[in-house]
Structure 1
C-alpha cells in the first residue's frame, strides 16, 4: 500500500513537473509573441508620430503600453509612457502629457533608467515653465514670460527634444510681438517653422505661418502676409482645425480691408465670426466684431454714408462688452480707439476724446506702444477739428516719435497727413509740404510691396490715402499762383502724375518681363490647369439646364478657382527672379513731357478732382498752365446730368455741355492748339470731351475744331510709346477681325442673360445677334489687302488664340462684351459660344493679359468696352487696359451701349480714313464729323461713345504718293539749303 502511495506520489510529481515544463514552454512562446507584438505596435506608433499623425500614434502607443504590462516588461512600459508624454505634448494636451511624464519618471527611477529619468524630469520642468510663461503673458508681464520660455528652451535643447523646443519658441515669439520686437518675433517663428516641418507637425507649422503672416501684416507688406495666411489656411482646412481656420480667415479679411476691398473683407470676417460663434470662443468673437467694425468704418470714409459708421459702432460696442468679459486689455485698447475714431467721423468730438483718453490710459498701463501712438494721432485729429491746430500738432509729433522705429507705417502715413493739414492751417507751408511728402513716401513704400496691380490700385484708393496727394497739389498750386517765378508748379505736376494710374503704369513695365523664367514647372502647369478649369465652368453654364442649387454650387466653384489662381499668381511673383529684379518706371517730369511727347500744336489737359480743391493742368510744348475747377460733388453732378443728355437721342438741350466746356477746357485753350490729349480723373473718365459745346448758339462741338485722344496718365502714355519704339519687328498683316459671333441658343432666348447675371456684377447684359457687326468686318476687310476675318461659328476663341497675333497691325472685335466692376478679371469679349471643352467663348481679361500683340490698334466695337471697375486715382480698370498690357499701343473703345447700325457706319468711315493715311485720332474725328453732318446720326448718342486711348497720332497706313511727296519736299529743302550755303561761301 505504501509502495502504491509512493508510486502514486512519484507519478503526480512527475505529472506536475511535465505540466510545469509544458506551461513554461507555452508561457515562453506567449511572452515571445507579446514581445513581437509590442515591437510591431511601438514601431508603428513611432512611424505615425514621424508622419505627424499624432492622434493615431497615441492609440498605438497606448496599445504598446498595454502589451508591455502584459509581458510584463517595466522597461518597455517606461518607453511607451515616455512616448505618450511627447505625443500628447504634440497634440496640445499638455496636462495629459505631464501625467505620462510623471509615470515615466517614477518607473525610470525604480528601474534606474537614468536617461529616461533625466528626460522626464526636464520635460516636467519644461511643462511648468511653459505654463508660467503663458501665465505671465496673460498678465502682460512679457519680460518674465520670455524668461520662462527661454529656460524651457534651454532644457529642451539639453534633452534634445525638438517637440518641446518648437512649442516654446512659438509661444515665446508672441511675447516679443507684444513688446513690438518684430525682428525677434519673426526670427523665432522662422526657427519654429523649420522644426515643425522637420517633425511633420502640421498644426504647429500652420501656426508659425500665421505668425509670420502677422509679422508681414504689421510691416504693411500685404502680399507676403496674404501668402503666408493662405498657406496656413490650407493646412487648417486639411486638419479640420476650426479655431485656427477662423484666425486665418480673420487675418485675410484684415488684409482685404487694408487694400480697400471692403466687400471681400467682410465676406472673410463674417465667415470667421460664424465659426467662432459655433466654437463659443468669446475672445475671438470679440476680435471678429472689432475687425468687422473697422471695415465698416473705413468703408464709410469712402462711401460717406453714415449707415456704415453706425454699423461700425454697433460692432464695436458689442466687442467692448465681450473684451471686458475676457479681460484681454490689448483688445480693449483697440476697440476704445476704434469707437473714438467713429465718433470723430460723426463729429461727436468730445465723446470721441472720452474714448481716446480711456484707451490711452489703458495702453500706457500695458505698455502697448503702437496703440499709444495711434491714439495720440487720433487725439490730434480731434483737436484739429476743434480748431486747436497747435495742440493737434503736438499730438502728431508725439505719435510720430513713438512709432517711427517700430514698424508703424500704417500709423505714420496718417499722422504725417494730419500734421501737414495742421501746419497748413497755421500757415507753416514749408513744414506742411514736408509732412505731406513724408505721408506720400510712407504710402508708396507700402504700396511698392504689394504684388498684384489690382491690389495696388485699390490700396491707394482706400481710406484717406489719396488725400495727401490732392492736398499737396492744392498747396503747391496756391504757392505757385502767389509766386509764378517759383518752381512749385513743377512739383505740383509731379504729384499729379504720382496720383494717377500707378498700377497701370507698373503693369506696362511688368508686361515686358517674362516672370515665368526660373519658376517651378509645377506652378506653371498648375496655372494652366486652373485657367482650363475656369473655362470649363463657363462651358458648363452654356451646356446645362441649371437649378438654383446647381447655379450656387458652380458659382462657389468659380470663386474658389479664381481665388486659387490669384494666390498662385502672387506666389509665382514672389518666387520669380525676374519679378524680384523688376524696376518700375519713373514718373515722367514736366521737361521730359514737353520735350518727348509734345509738338507745338498738341496739349495735355490733365485733371485732379478732389473733395475741396480741383484743378486742370494744361501742358504745352513751352508752357504749363493751371486753373481751378469746381470740387468733386459739383463736377460729378454736372457731368452726370450731361451724360444723361447725350445718352438720350431725343434730348436736344446741350446747354450743360457748353457750361462744362467753359469750366474744364476754355481757360486752358490758345490758338496754337489743334490736338488735345485728355488725362481724366474721377467722373471725367466717363465723359467724351468731344461732345462739349464751344459755341452755344452755333452748337459747335469741341471735335469740330480739335483732334482728341485720351490716356490714363502722361507717364503711362510715355511708356506705351517707348515700348512701341523698342519693338524690333513691324507687323506684316493689316487686320485680323472677329464679328457677328454665333451665340447659339442665347440669341433666341429672352432670358439668356439670366444664366450669367448672377456670375457678373455687370451693368449690361444681352446676347442678341449683332447683324451689322458681320457687315462691319466685311466692309472693313475690303479696304485692306492682308486680312483675316471670322464670322459666326468661325469667330471662336480658339481661332483667335491659334493666330500669331504679333503679325497684325490691327485687331478688331465687333461683338458683345461682359463687364464685371467688382471682379474685373471676369470681364470678357464674347466670341462664338460653342461647346468646345477647351475654350468657353469668353475672352476674359486674364486671358487677354496672356496674349502677345504688337499692334498699332485694337478696336473694341462692342458695348461699354471703355468701362469697368472705377477706382479712385487709378481710373477705369477695364478690358482696354488688358490689351495695352498685351502689347497694343492704342485702343478704340466705347463708353456706352452703342447702336449696332451706327457702330457699323462709324467703323466703316473710320477705317476708310485710316486707310487713306490719316492718323488714328484724325480718322476717328473725320468719321465722327461725317456722322454729325449726316443729320440722321448727328446726335452724340450715335457718334460720341467711341473714344481712342493711347498712341493715337500713329499713321498706320502711309500711301506711296504721300511718302513720295514728303520725300520730294525734303529733297527740295536740301537743294535750297545747298544753294544758300554755296552763295554764302561765294560772298565770303
Structure 2
C-alpha cells in the first residue's frame, strides 16, 4: 500500500580527491627531508591519503627553511583536497602562497593563487546552485574548470565537474548529469583517486535509477560497494555506497539485501543523529521491514518496522525536517492500515497529508491520497474513497509519477469492483497493468523483473482483473470475457521470461518518439477523467452513453498511438508491448486431440483453473492461496513418508485442480502452475479410488512457465537453428 521514502544519496558533494600539480621551481633540500617527502608522495599516489597526512604533519615539524615549509604546505593542500576537506586545503594553499612570495618562487605562487581562485569559484557556484540560480552557478563552475585546466589541477577539476553535474540534475538534464560524471570518473581513474572513482560511480548509478534502468543502477552501486572496502576509505564514502545499494534493492523487492545494506549504513552514521540521512536510514529500514512483512506475514518484521518508524519520526521532529516527517507519518499510517488498525491509520495519514499539502510535497501526496482512499473504502465510505483516489491519480498524472500511479489505478479499480461497476473497474485495472509493465520493461535482468512483479502487490492488478472478467462472463454470458481472462493470465506469467529472451537480442533499447509517448500519457489522462465523470451519482443515461462513446474513441486513438510506436521503433515496442499468445493461437498451436492445457491463477481472494481442450475453454474456481498452501504441504508430507499408504490429499487435489477440466480421450497434460502450485508434483495426484491410481500412470505430464514462453522458446530455437550451418554428424 505504501511507498517507502526513498532518497537517493548523491555522492557526497563535499568530498575532494587527488590532483596532479605543476612542479614548483627546483630547490635544494636536506637529504633526510627529501626522503621523507618522497615517502609521503608514495602514499598520495597509492591513494592512502590519511597516511600521507600523518606523514606530512610530522615532516612539517622537521621543516626548517621557508622552502621546506612551502613544499610541505603544498603537499598538505593536495592531501586535504583528496580527503574532501576543501577548507583545510584552502588554508594550506594560502600558507604555501605566502611562503612562495617570501622566497620569490613565482611559479608556485601562481599555482597556489589560481587554486585559491578555483575554490572560491567552486564555493560560489555551489551556493548559487543551492539557491536555485542555475545559470549563474554554471558560469562559476566554468570559471573553476578553466582555472583547473590552466594549472593542471585535476582534483579540483573532478570536484567541479561533479558539483556542476548536480546543477544539470536539478535542471532535469540527466544526460548532461551523466556526461559530467563520466568525465570526472575518467580523470579519477587516470590519477588513481579511489574516492572520486567511487563517488562518480555512485552518481552514474543514480543517473540510471533516475531513468528507471534499475539493472545498470544496481551494477554501478555494487561496483561502488566493492571499491569502498579499500583501506583508508572515508566513512561518508562507505555510507553512500551501501545506502544507494540498499535503495535500489528496495525498488526491485530484494528486501533481505536492502536490510543488510541499510543496517550497515545506519551503523556508520549513528553517531551523528543530526544528519538528515540518519532519519532517512531509519525510515527506509522501517519501510523495508514492512515490505518484507507483507510478503512473509512475519509479525516480528511488523514490530521492527514500527520501531524504526518511531525512531525516525522522533529524529525528524528534533531536527525540524518536515519532508521527513511527512514520509515517516505516511509509512506509519501504511503500517497501521496493514494491521487493520484503521482509525490509527487515518490519524497518521491525515497528519502526513496536512503537512505535505502545506509544503507542497506533491510526489508524496500521491501515495498519501491513495492510502487514505484505501482506509475509507474499508470503512464503506465510497464517496470519500473515490475522491482521494481521483486526487492521487490526477496529481500523479500531472507529476509523471508512474511509480505510484499504478497503485492509485489499482485501488480505484478495486473500489469500483466492490461497488459492482465492473466495466469502469476494468479500465482502471488495465491502466494499472500497463504502467506496471512499462516500468518493468525498463529492467533488464530476468531475476530483477521477477522480483519486481512479485513485490508489493503488483500481481494483484492481474488477479483482480482476471476475477472481474470471469464475473462479467457470469453476468453477461459472453465467452469473450473468459478468453480475455486467459490472455491476462498469460501476461502475468510470461513477462519476465519473454523479456529476458527479447533482451538477449537487443543490446540497447532505443526510446520511442517522445511526442508519441506523451500523447499516450495524455490520452490515458483524458480517459481517466471521463471514467471519473462516468461514476458520478445520478448521471443521466444520455450523458452516460456520450461518455462511453468518447471513451471508445480515445481507446481507438490509444491503439493507433501504440501502432505508430511499433512501426517507428519495433525494438522499443517489442519490449514495452511484448507479444502474448491469445486463446485462439494457444488452441491452434497446443491443443491437439489428446492434449489438454491447464493453467492456474492463485490469489489471496480468488483463484481459478483454466482448461484448454478440444472442446474449448473452461474456467472454474479453485481454493485460494491460504487453503491451497495447506493442501499442498500436507500432500508433499504424505508422498514423502515411505510408510504412508493413505493419499486422500492427492485425490482431493485432483478433484479440485484437474477433474473439472478433464474430457474424454486426453493423454497429454501441459501444466502451467502458479504460486504454491509450483511445489506440487501433479504426477502424484490420484485419479481414482485405489491407492496406486497415480496420474502419471494414465497421462504424460509436461510443465511450462506459460504458453507464450513455451512458444517463444520454440521460435527462438528455430531461429537459432536456421542461423547455423547444418553439418552431418557421425556417432
What TM-score do you get using the length of structure 1 for normalisation?
A: 0.56
| Matching of residues 435-474 of structure 1 within 5 Å | 435-474=428-467
Partner Cα distance (2:474, 2:651) in 1: 27
After superposition, give the CA deviation of every residue in 1:657-687 in whole Å (9 maximum; x if it has no partner): 4443332223222334343322222222333
Cα offset for 1:311?
Answer: 1.4
| Matching of residues 322-401 of structure 1 within 5 Å | 322-364=315-357, 368-401=361-394
Partner Cα distance (1:119, 1:698) in 2: 92
Aligned pair partner of 1:202 in 187, 194, 198: 194
Is 1:227 paired with 2:215? no
Cα offset for 1:616?
Answer: 0.9
Partner Cα distance (1:473, 1:369) in 2: 32
Is 1:607 paired with 2:596? no
Partner Cα distance (2:106, 2:407) in 1: 61
Cα offset for 1:608?
Answer: 0.6
Is 1:157 paired with 2:138? no
Partner Cα distance (1:420, 1:370) in 2: 21
Cα offset for 1:611?
Answer: 0.6
Q: Relative to structure 1, is the Cα distance of residues 514 and 122 closer, same or farther in structure 2, using a 3 angstrom cutoff?
A: closer
Checking the alignment, whether the CA contact within 8 Å between 2:274 and 2:319 is kept in structure 1 is no
After superposition, give the CA deviation of every residue in 1:773-797 in whole Å (9 maximum; x if it has no partner): xxxxxxxxxxxxxxxxxxxxxxxxx
Q: Structure 2, unaligned stretches of length 5 or more?
A: 1-25, 508-570, 723-728
Partner Cα distance (1:291, 1:508) in 2: 34
SS state at 1:237 partner: coil
Corresponding residue number in structure 1 for 2:682:
689
Partner Cα distance (1:314, 1:175) in 2: 37
After superposition, give the CA deviation of every residue in 1:162-195 in whole Å (9 maximum; x if it has no partner): 4334324434555766787755654543443344
Checking the alignment, whether the CA contact within 8 Å between 2:450 and 2:496 is kept in structure 1 is yes
Checking the alignment, whether the CA contact within 8 Å between 1:142 and 1:179 is kept in structure 2 is no
CA RMSD, 1 decimal: 4.3
Aligned pair partner of 1:143 in 117, 123, 132: 132
Checking the alignment, whether the CA contact within 8 Å between 1:126 and 1:164 is kept in structure 2 is yes
Q: Relative to structure 1, is the Cα distance of residues 486 and 671 closer, same or farther in structure 2, using a 3 angstrom cutoff?
A: closer
Aligned pair partner of 2:81 in 64, 83, 89: 89
What TM-score do you get using the length of structure 2 for normalisation?
A: 0.73
Cα offset for 1:305?
Answer: 3.3
Corresponding residue number in structure 2 for 1:587:
580
Number of residue pairs aligned between Structure 1 and Structure 2:
631
Q: Relative to structure 1, is the Cα distance of residues 34 and 509 closer, same or farther in structure 2, using a 3 angstrom cutoff?
A: closer
Q: Relative to structure 1, is the Cα distance of residues 40 and 268 closer, same or farther in structure 2, using a 3 angstrom cutoff?
A: closer
| Matching of residues 765-784 of structure 1 within 5 Å | none
| Matching of residues 39-118 of structure 1 within 5 Å | 52=47, 54=49, 70=65, 81=73, 84-103=76-95
Corresponding residue number in structure 2 for 1:257:
250
Checking the alignment, whether the CA contact within 8 Å between 1:399 and 1:415 is kept in structure 2 is yes
Corresponding residue number in structure 1 for 2:205:
213
Partner Cα distance (2:683, 2:463) in 1: 27
Corresponding residue number in structure 2 for 1:287:
280
SS state at 1:499 partner: helix
Cα offset for 1:258?
Answer: 3.3
| Matching of residues 621-700 of structure 1 within 5 Å | 621=614, 623-648=616-641, 650-696=643-689
Partner Cα distance (2:344, 2:176) in 1: 39
Partner Cα distance (1:292, 1:49) in 2: 37
Is 1:310 paired with 2:306? no
Partner Cα distance (2:332, 2:173) in 1: 27
The worse-fitting range, judged by mean Cα deviation, of 308-317 and 182-191 is: 182-191
Checking the alignment, whether the CA contact within 8 Å between 1:676 and 1:708 is kept in structure 2 is yes
SS state at 2:447 partner: helix
Cα offset for 1:377?
Answer: 3.0
Q: Relative to structure 1, is the Cα distance of residues 607 and 37 closer, same or farther in structure 2, using a 3 angstrom cutoff?
A: same
After superposition, give the CA deviation of every residue in 1:689-742 in whole Å (9 maximum; x if it has no partner): 34544454898555565444333322233345446666869xxxxxxxxxxxxx
Q: Relative to structure 1, is the Cα distance of residues 402 and 186 closer, same or farther in structure 2, using a 3 angstrom cutoff?
A: farther
Partner Cα distance (1:716, 1:325) in 2: 54
Corresponding residue number in structure 1 for 2:228:
236
After superposition, give the CA deviation of every residue in 1:738-768 in whole Å (9 maximum; x if it has no partner): xxxxxxxxxxxxxxxxxxxxxxxxxxxxxxx
Q: Relative to structure 1, is the Cα distance of residues 61 and 708 closer, same or farther in structure 2, using a 3 angstrom cutoff?
A: closer
Cα offset for 1:313?
Answer: 0.4
Partner Cα distance (1:658, 1:156) in 2: 78
The worse-fitting range, judged by mean Cα deviation, of 614-623 and 362-371 is: 362-371
Checking the alignment, whether the CA contact within 8 Å between 1:153 and 1:164 is kept in structure 2 is no
Q: Relative to structure 1, is the Cα distance of residues 33 and 684 closer, same or farther in structure 2, using a 3 angstrom cutoff?
A: closer
Cα offset for 1:208?
Answer: 1.8
After superposition, give the CA deviation of every residue in 1:428-484 in whole Å (9 maximum; x if it has no partner): 444433332333233333433444433332332222121111111111222233334
Partner Cα distance (2:317, 2:730) in 1: 68
Kindly indicate which of the two structures has a greater share of residues assigned to helix.
2
Checking the alignment, whether the CA contact within 8 Å between 2:494 and 2:705 is kept in structure 1 is yes
SS state at 1:466 partner: helix
Partner Cα distance (1:372, 1:361) in 2: 10
Checking the alignment, whether the CA contact within 8 Å between 1:65 and 1:80 is kept in structure 2 is yes
Partner Cα distance (2:299, 2:59) in 1: 65
The worse-fitting range, judged by mean Cα deviation, of 468-477 and 47-56 is: 47-56
Checking the alignment, whether the CA contact within 8 Å between 1:170 and 1:188 is kept in structure 2 is yes
Q: Relative to structure 1, is the Cα distance of residues 135 and 613 closer, same or farther in structure 2, using a 3 angstrom cutoff?
A: same
The worse-fitting range, judged by mean Cα deviation, of 339-348 and 126-135 is: 126-135
Partner Cα distance (2:363, 2:121) in 1: 29
Aligned pair partner of 1:271 in 254, 264, 271: 264
Q: Relative to structure 1, is the Cα distance of residues 111 and 69 closer, same or farther in structure 2, using a 3 angstrom cutoff?
A: same
Partner Cα distance (1:326, 1:400) in 2: 32
Q: Relative to structure 1, is the Cα distance of residues 450 and 664 closer, same or farther in structure 2, using a 3 angstrom cutoff?
A: same
Partner Cα distance (1:474, 1:336) in 2: 34
Kindly indicate which of the two structures has a greater share of residues assigned to strand.
1
Partner Cα distance (1:727, 1:108) in 2: 71
Give the number of the structure with larger relative contact order, counting CA–CA contacts within 8 Å between residues 6 or more apart: 2
Corresponding residue number in structure 2 for 1:959:
none
| Matching of residues 536-615 of structure 1 within 5 Å | 586-615=579-608
Checking the alignment, whether the CA contact within 8 Å between 2:470 and 2:481 is kept in structure 1 is yes
Q: Structure 1, unaligned stretches of length 5 or more?
A: 1-30, 516-578, 730-805, 809-988
Partner Cα distance (1:807, 1:339) in 2: 69
Partner Cα distance (1:632, 1:170) in 2: 51
Aligned pair partner of 1:716 in 695, 709, 717: 709
Partner Cα distance (1:494, 1:142) in 2: 52
Q: Relative to structure 1, is the Cα distance of residues 232 and 508 closer, same or farther in structure 2, using a 3 angstrom cutoff?
A: closer
Q: Relative to structure 1, is the Cα distance of residues 181 and 409 closer, same or farther in structure 2, using a 3 angstrom cutoff?
A: farther
Partner Cα distance (1:198, 1:712) in 2: 48
Corresponding residue number in structure 1 for 2:538:
none
Aligned pair partner of 1:481 in 456, 474, 482: 474
Partner Cα distance (2:154, 2:693) in 1: 82
